[in-house]
Chain A
């Protein structure tokens, strides 16, 4: 089955600086890679996702890059703000081809934005 490794487990950055979280996956058949943000006591919420047919995707201050050859993908947050403080999870999924499949998650990164 799929295995997703995520680093670092904790990341502390100064407000306004950039943050980068990295993930690797093991199953070369995986082709959908979402990132979820979970604030304390709240449910995980999707912030950005990328499919295997593109190498990069941006949404305002958030971007995700994918390297299929190396089987790794990264989340980039620029101009960090206090509300970015949360736990971020990467995940991977193999296209079910008409069905549904569960996500395999990384262990999470606790992002701390220092004022």
Chain B
């Protein structure tokens, strides 16, 4: 698959589990993002990485921990989540340096039990 891929597509985890979401972009972009999409709120920005450096943390609880080993890969490490963290987690990438299209992945549907 080309563009932006995310794995897994669906994840069910208990509140005491630790899991990780993975995002990979095949577009040669240098900026990557994590967004949260839940039923009752708009798409919410979580983290921004530009050239592997975190440039924005939108007041996200520490139970969400991002990692960006290179410009093509982005992870979101999850631990001790709450049921209200159940949502669709979307990864996106863009060229950076000039406002332009952010390309979204298909998302990971997370359910916390």
Are B42's CB and A99's CB within 8 A? no
Interface bin, chain B = 20 to 34
B15 interface hit (Cβ, 8 Å): no
**A-B interface pairs (CB < 8 A), number:** 70
Number of interface residues of A (CB under 8 A): 28
Chain A residue with Cβ nearest B94: A100
Q: Give the segment of A11-19, A55-63, A66-74, A102-110 that binds chain B.
A: A102-110
The answer to whether A105 touches B94 (Cβ under 8 A) is: no
A31 at the A/B interface (Cβ < 8 Å)?
Answer: yes
User: A46 contacts the other chain (Cβ, under 8 Å)?
Assistant: yes
Q: Which of B90, B96, B106 contacts A99 (CB 8 A)?
A: B96
Looking at the assembled complex, report how far the CB atom of A24 sits from the nearest CB atom of chain B, in whole angstroms.
Answer: 14
Given the known interface contacts A42-B106, A44-B90, A102-B48, the answer about A51 and B96 at a Cβ–Cβ threshold of 8 Å is no
Contact of B55 among A4, A31, A91, A99 (CB under 8 A): A99
Tell me which residues across on chain A come within 8 A of B94, comparing CB atoms. 100
In the complex, are the beta carbons of A101 and B42 less than 8 A apart? no
The reply on B66 being an interface residue by CB < 8 A is: no
Q: In the complex, which residues 26-48 of chain B have their Cβ closer than 8 Å to any Cβ of chain A? A: 30-31, 33, 35, 41-45, 48
Partner of A45, one of B35, B41, B42, B104: B104
User: Is the Cβ of B101 less than 8 Å from the Cβ of A100?
Assistant: no
Residues of B near A108 (CB, < 8 A) are 42
* B106: min CB distance to chain A, Å: 5
Q: Is the CB of A103 within 8 A of B102?
A: yes
Chain A contacts to B: CB under 8 angstroms: 4, 6, 31-32, 34, 42-46, 49, 51, 89, 91, 93, 95-96, 98-108
In the A-B complex, the 3 residue pairs with the closest CB atoms: A100-B31, A32-B99, A102-B45
Interface residues of B (CB under 8 A from A): 30-31, 33, 35, 41-45, 48-50, 55-56, 58, 90, 94, 96-102, 104-107
